[in-house]
């Protein structure tokens, strides 16, 4: 898990009935057709349980009742992990299964996505509510890279041993990619003309419906600039034959406070496992 990221919990229950909607049922997004009142009542009960057993940090639980998808947000008291709880979001579960499947099919993809998500998060480019590119869309973008990179496809390069080289290829390619004119579709493994006026990275789970995982992304120009700068700064370091032992610091820098929090988290987990 990327440091400071959250855990998404989806509750599937027959108590919440969905009204008929062929499109939403097909893609598994039941929350928008569910009775919000019923969902919020269930989330309220969950809030009471969290409060009763003192699970949330400072006893603070945010209940976003009026959101498009009602949700509970809290920080776990024991491990300081952010947790989101929603009802009926089966699409998230399907996406998780899809990611696991593709990581097994493509050696090294799991390594690259962790680094990439951390790279994006450090630059505050992952928050969909603020126009960033959400984590699932980041994964599909990286999957597209794996499916189109000739050396990866022909097994002529070890991903794990050449992460830096491959990230340079990734940054160079997508810093110039015409997102405004092409839809990324990893099922068809080709680019389709984009007439949506939005950045469009198609969800490969639903082949017969165009579901855009990057629909909320308003910062694609900034993201492309970030990719280009990352590529150029590494090219400069290589050309100057930098003596630094870790050139990755040019892309990702760990601050001491973050290292301290990581170590504290490890100690907590070790104590937990020792007890068990």
pLDDT at 100 over 90: yes
Whether the predicted model's global pTM rises above the 0.85 cut? no
User: Between residues 231 and 247, which one has the greater pLDDT?
Assistant: 231
Q: What is the pLDDT of residue 224?
A: 97
By CB neighbour count within 10 A (0-12 exposed, 13-18 middle, 19+ buried), where does 256 fall?
exposed
Task: Report the b/e string of 64-75 with b at 16+ CB within 10 A.
Answer: eeeeebbbbbbb
Q: What is the pLDDT of residue 4?
A: 61
pLDDT at 275 over 70: no
Q: What is the pLDDT of residue 242?
A: 55
pLDDT at 112 over 90: yes
Of the given ranges (99-103, 175-179, 234-238, 253-257), which has the lowest mean pLDDT? 253-257
Of the given ranges (48-57, 204-213, 221-230, 236-245), which has the lowest mean pLDDT? 236-245
Domain positions in the chain are: 7-88, 93-260
In CATH terms, the fold of domain 93-260 is: Poly(a)-polymerase, middle domain (1.10.1410)
User: Between residues 229 and 191, which one has the greater pLDDT?
Assistant: 229
Q: What are phi and psi of 41, to 5 degrees?
A: -65, -40
Q: What are phi and psi of 2, to 5 degrees?
A: -65, 135
pLDDT bucket at 17, cuts 50 / 70 / 90: low
Average pLDDT over residues 166-182: 95
Q: What are phi and psi of 81, to 5 degrees?
A: -100, 135
Q: What is the pLDDT of residue 23?
A: 41
Q: Is the CA virtual torsion 226, 232, 236, 239 positive or negative?
A: positive
Average pLDDT over residues 246-265: 73
Of the given ranges (2-6, 96-100, 150-154, 251-255), which has the lowest mean pLDDT? 2-6
Counting every residue written for the chain, the total comes to 276
pLDDT at 176 over 50: yes
pLDDT at 117 over 80: yes
Residue 5 C-beta-side C-alpha neighbours within 13 Å: 16
Q: What is the pLDDT of residue 246?
A: 57
Q: What is the pLDDT of residue 248?
A: 65
Q: What is the pLDDT of residue 18?
A: 47
Q: What is the pLDDT of residues 41-86, one digit of tens each?
A: 999 999 999 999 999 998 899 999 887 788 999 999 888 888 999 9
Strands annotated E in 19-178: 56-64, 71-76, 82-87
Q: What is the pLDDT of residue 225?
A: 96
Average pLDDT over residues 179-207: 89
């Amino acid at each position: 898990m990327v440091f400071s990221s959250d855990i998404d919990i989806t509750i599937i229950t027959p108590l919440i009935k969905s009204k008929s909607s062929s499109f939403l049922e097909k893609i598994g997004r039941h929350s928008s057709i569910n009775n919000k009142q019923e969902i919020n009542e269930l989330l309220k009960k969950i809030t009471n349980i969290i409060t009763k057993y003192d699970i949330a940090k400072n006893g603070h639980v945010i209940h976003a009742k009026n959101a498009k998808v009602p949700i509970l947000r809290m920080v776990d008291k024991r491990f300081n992990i952010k947790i989101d709880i929603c009802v009926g979001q089966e699409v998230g579960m399907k996406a998780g299964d899809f990611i696991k499947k593709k990581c097994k099919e493509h050696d090294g993809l799991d390594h690259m996505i962790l680094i990439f998500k951390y790279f994006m998060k450090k630059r505050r480019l992952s928050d969909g509510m603020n126009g960033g590119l959400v984590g699932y869309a980041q994964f599909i973008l990286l999957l597209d890279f794996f499916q189109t990179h000739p050396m990866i496809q022909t097994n002529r390069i070890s991903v794990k041993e050449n992460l830096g080289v491959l990230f340079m290829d990734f940054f160079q390619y997508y810093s110039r990619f015409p997102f405004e004119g092409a839809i990324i579709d990893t099922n068809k493994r080709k680019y389709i003309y984009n007439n949506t006026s939005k950045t469009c990275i198609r969800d490969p789970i639903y082949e017969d419906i165009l579901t855009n995982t990057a629909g909320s992304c308003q910062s694609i120009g900034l993201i492309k600039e970030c990719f280009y700068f990352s590529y150029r700064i590494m090219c400069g370091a290589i050309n100057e034959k930098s003596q630094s032992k870790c050139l990755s610091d040019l892309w990702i820098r760990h601050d001491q406070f973050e290292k301290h929090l990581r170590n504290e988290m490890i100690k907590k987990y070790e104590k937990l496992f020792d007890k068990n």
